[in-house]
Structure formats: C-alpha cells, structure tokens
Structure 1
Amino acid sequence: MGTSTAYGGPGGGTPLVPSWLGDADGGSPPASPAAGDEPDGDGVAPGDGAAPPPAPNRPAIPAVADPQRFSGARNSFTRFAGSGGTDRASLGRAVSRYVSTSAGGARQAAQRMGASRGSGARLLGFLADAQARGVREALRSLDLESLAGRPITEVFVGLADYICPGAGTVDEGIAREAYIETIIELTTEGLTDLSTFTPDQMQTVFELYATHAIEARICNDIGTKAVTMPTDAQAAHRVEAQLRDFIRGGVSDALTRARAESPNLTPERIQSFVDTVYESAFAILQSLGQAEADL
C-alpha cells in the first residue's frame, strides 16, 4: 500500500504468469520444429493432425485463467479491512487464498515477481560487493563513486536507476515502489552506515525490500480499488501494518532457511538465492495464512 497508486487489479482472464513477465534469465527460446513437421500452406502441421508448435521467436499465448480466482482473496481481505485489523482469520484466509488460488501456488506467485526478483538480486549483489570490497569500490564499479561518503539514504537514492531500471509496467512500478519504501525505512531500522554493514544488516535490507514488493504485488493483484479501507485513519494504518508484519514474518523465515542452505553466497548464485527466497516466502505465507484461518 504505502505510496502506491491504486489500480483496479488485473482482469479475471489475465494469465497467471503474463507472457511479458518471463524469468530472470529471459527464458529459453522455443524449439524449432523437427524435420518433416513443418506446417503446410494453411499453417497446419501434416501428420497426425496435432496443432503446430509456436512459431520460432514467438512466445506461446498463455492459457486464460479462472476469471473468479481473485474473488476469494478479495472478499477475505475486504472483511479483514472492514474489521479495522481485528479479524486475523480473514487476513490469513486472504493471503492463503491469494497464493493458492489467485496466483496458482507459491512457484507461480514467485514468477509473478519478475522485476522485483531482478531488482532484489541487484540490491543484494551491491550490498555483498560493498561488504567484500568496500563501498567506494562497489560504487566505482557502477560509475557512482561520487556517492561514496554520502548519507545512506542518498546512496540508495542514487542507486535507484541501477537497482530498478524502468518503470513502464505495473511489475516494474512495484519493484521501484518497494525500493522507495525500503529507503524510507532504513533509518527507522537503525541502518545508517553502509560501510559497517554486517551480514545480518544486509539481510534486513533485503527483507524490507522483498516484504514491500510482495505486499505491493498482493495489493495490486487483489485490486485496491475493490477493497474498502476503514475511514478511520488509525484503523486503516493498523490494517496496513498487520498485513506488512504478516508478510515480513514469512520473508524473514524464508531468508533464514535460505541462508542456512547457502551460507556462502557467491555473485553467480545471488539470483537463484533471491528466486528461492521469494518462492519459499510465498509457500510459508500460504501455510501461515491457513493456520490463522483455522484458529
């Protein structure tokens, strides 16, 4: 929520993972048709009558998803918001239904975080480089050495176009919004000196970023215009805070697990580490949400 600009959420027929989103590595090109299977003049492959494969360099059109898949999560979140943040069962049900039904499971939910996964990897990569070689050298490698010695918020603002390139799509907008929200929270978390960051402080920065990214993704997918927030400012703040804290708990658990499995994070493994954290976080959120709903 935060500084986000509300939009009505995706249409019910929007594919679970849009074709333009892709994976962080860009995906693999479609295979060329085997010899003898080229389509005839009508575009139909000869032989057993099966549909021809997608044309080279043209992504397959994703199947249309269930048009009602967002309704359960929206209804539950509306009940939670209407309670002013007291109906924890509806919060849990909303998040659990979002992952399991709206997004199609933890793996597909993570895939929907396309730009945020890439931005998260760049953020974590920069922090690791700054810790290994020093802030000045890490900034110099990005032609941003002039930021060395500046307050941490100025450094992070200066890194914005590197961490979050582009903001033309909703997905890219979510990534940039999450990064801005992270910058705002740096000082409140006691993160003021980038040159003395510990591994735990690096985790905190990435935890903040992933939390804001997932929150923005859920709110945009559910459709903030379709959810009526309390008119009382304190109640509305309580709703936002509880949703964010709930998501952060899942992200924190996912990060702890990932760090235990990959204690030595090399530059080559950062993207896969980030992808694992997002998928694990959604799986944990689904389980935590269901547990809240069952109380």
Structure 2
Amino acid sequence: MGTSKSYGGPKDRIPLLPSWAFPDAGNEQPSPTSPEDISSLQPVIPNSLQNSNQQSPVSNMNWRAAKSSLGKAFSGSGGSTNKSFARAGRSYVRALGGARKAASSSATGRSAAAALGGFFADVAKNGINGALQNSGLSLVVGKDAETVFAAITNAFAPSGSSREEAIARKAVSEALEALYERCSLEDGDITTLDRMDADDVRNVFEGVVNAYIYNRWLGELELVIEKKAISAQDAIRLERQVKEYISECVKLDIKNVDVLNMEWNSPSSHKFVEKIFTEAYSLLEGNE
C-alpha cells in the first residue's frame, strides 16, 4: 500500500490509539455512532467456520511439562532465549495433541481469520466503503477510522463471552491495531485503505493467525507468569518476547495464494484456513 509504513512488531500501548485496538476493550461501542446502531450490525462470518465453543481435544491431559518448559523460558533457566522458547512451544503443541489437533480445536480463531481476510480482500477490490456496504456495515460508511475499526471489530470478532471467544477477539483487535499503525490512520482518514493490495490482505490474515496462537498459548498457561511472582514490567517484556518469537518462527507460506479472488466463505476456504493453522502449529512444534 503506497502510504503504509512498516510495522515494527508488538509495542506497548500508546495512549493515542483508539480503545478498539486493545484486547481488553471487550464489547465497547464507538461513541460517534450510537450503541444501538453498532449492536445491530451483524457479522458476515462463514457458516462453515462457526464453532466457537469447540473444546480442546486434550482437556484432561497433564499440562505439567508445557507449563514447566514455559516457566524455564521465563526464568532464564532453560538456556538461550530462542532455544528455551522453542522447547516451550514444542511442549505446548504436544500438550494440545499435536499440530493437527491444535488447529482442529482452534475453530474460533479460524473463523475470525477467515472473516477478516475475506473482508479486507473485499476492501482491496472494492474500497473500504464498498466492503462496508457489502458486509452490512453501511451505518459507518463515511465515519472516521476509529468508528469504522470499532464496527469491524464488533462485526467480525466474537463477543468474548467464552474463553476461546476472548482469545479470538484479542487476535482480531491486535491484527487491526497493526493495520491501523501500518497505514497511519491516526488522522481518521479511512480512505487510505482504498490502496490495500494482496500483500496487505495477507498481512492482516497472518496477523490474526499469529496473534491467536500467541494469546491462546499465554492464556492457557497464564498461571506460569503469575507463579513466577515477577514484576509487571518483566511480565510485559517476557510476553513480548514470546509474541516476537512466534512471529519469527511461524512464517506462513501464502505468498502465492490468490487472496483477492478466493471465496473466503466456501468449504475450500475452510480447508485452506485449517491447513494454515496446522502449518503454523507445526512450525511452532518443530522449531528448534
């Protein structure tokens, strides 16, 4: 995209960013449009991908090894940072039952990634206003960037009422935050997105996948951080290291995928998205 800037990885919260960009924004509604209007907007999420309450296939598995590995990575007792995170990642994916089962139990994340990928593919082809209208979000056409992104979040991210939904919502919020920063939308001019191309769509899709895996991993093993009794500053630093590690090792091979002409709401898209999640978990499991 002509006016976009490179995204330098995860950053601490910046006060000037809108509330929708943060994972703990929950279901807050954008103020420029009434809550009643925004809540009436319905998400266009593929039916074949909806299964937000699917449970982990290994809910009774002993997570001791996975928690121990991540604890050693955080404490620095597991060797070099990359190797210790690699061991922790491999242990975690194995605790989920392997890459295939990890991807299969990521239904909420797959749904969110497909929905957001399809929406921004429409943006790249028809412009932001055209995509909003096509997705039933015509109420925010012509609004500023903050209002539009809040509506996109509420339309394509699950409500966050369950643990898995909260994880997927965080992933969508973080992917949108990265796009907001990359495209310099602080001035409110949403038409900058009219210059999105296929690579931008791939970046958004990859961003949801990576953020979902990160948030799920840390969410399921969050007590490891708490039990280490570390400072809030150290906790932020360590979580950022995990996020950066995932982004580095999970390099998705979708450069040749025609994301603009793919039918994101089709059964073949369902298979593609699950394949990508399986590949991502495989890379995390096998990276050393």
Q: TM-score, normalised by structure 1?
A: 0.68
**Partner SS for 1:260:** coil
Question: Quick check: 2:57–2:101 contact (8 Å CA) kept in 1?
Answer: no
Q: Which residue in 1 is equivalent to 2:92?
A: 98
- Report deviation, 1:198: 1.5
In structure 2, the CA distance between the partners of 1:220 and 1:263, relative to structure 1 (3 Å rule), is closer
Matched, 1:162 2:165: no
Which entry has the higher C-alpha Rg, 1 or 2? 1
In structure 2, the CA distance between the partners of 1:132 and 1:270, relative to structure 1 (3 Å rule), is farther
- Report deviation, 1:232: 4.3
**Partner SS for 1:95:** helix
Q: Which residue in 2 is equivalent to 1:275?
A: 274
Q: Which residue in 2 is equivalent to 1:266?
A: 262
In structure 2, the CA distance between the partners of 1:262 and 1:129, relative to structure 1 (3 Å rule), is closer
Deviations 1:157-206 (A, max 9, x none): 11223212332211111111212222333333346421111211111222
1:206-285 to structure 2, matched below 5 A, reads 206-222=205-221, 224-227=222-225, 228-229=227-228, 231-251=230-250, 253-254=251-252, 257-260=253-256, 265-267=261-263, 268=266, 269-285=268-284
CA–CA distance in structure 2, aligned partners of residues 147 and 84 of structure 1 = 51
Decide which moves more: 189-198 or 241-250: 189-198
Question: Quick check: 2:201–2:259 contact (8 Å CA) kept in 1?
Answer: no
CA–CA distance in structure 2, aligned partners of residues 93 and 279 of structure 1 = 18
Question: Quick check: 1:103–1:109 contact (8 Å CA) kept in 2?
Answer: yes
Opposite residue 121 of structure 2, the aligned amino acid is: A
**Partner SS for 2:49:** coil
Deviations 1:107-149 (A, max 9, x none): 1111121111111111011111121222222111233223234
- Report deviation, 1:243: 0.8
* Unaligned 5+ runs, structure 2: 1-9, 13-21, 25-47, 186-191
Question: Quick check: 1:84–1:238 contact (8 Å CA) kept in 2?
Answer: no
Q: Which residue in 1 is equivalent to 2:198?
A: 199
**Partner SS for 1:258:** coil
**Partner SS for 2:217:** helix
In structure 2, the CA distance between the partners of 1:197 and 1:125, relative to structure 1 (3 Å rule), is same
In structure 2, the CA distance between the partners of 1:131 and 1:112, relative to structure 1 (3 Å rule), is same
1:116-135 to structure 2, matched below 5 A, reads 116-135=109-128
What is the aligned-residue identity percentage?
Answer: 24
Q: Which residue in 2 is equivalent to 1:187?
A: 180
Deviations 1:249-295 (A, max 9, x none): 244x22xx23435566421343333222111111111121xx1xxxx
Q: TM-score, normalised by structure 2?
A: 0.70
In structure 2, the CA distance between the partners of 1:272 and 1:63, relative to structure 1 (3 Å rule), is closer
CA–CA distance in structure 1, aligned partners of residues 234 and 105 of structure 2 = 30
Opposite residue 176 of structure 1, the aligned amino acid is: R
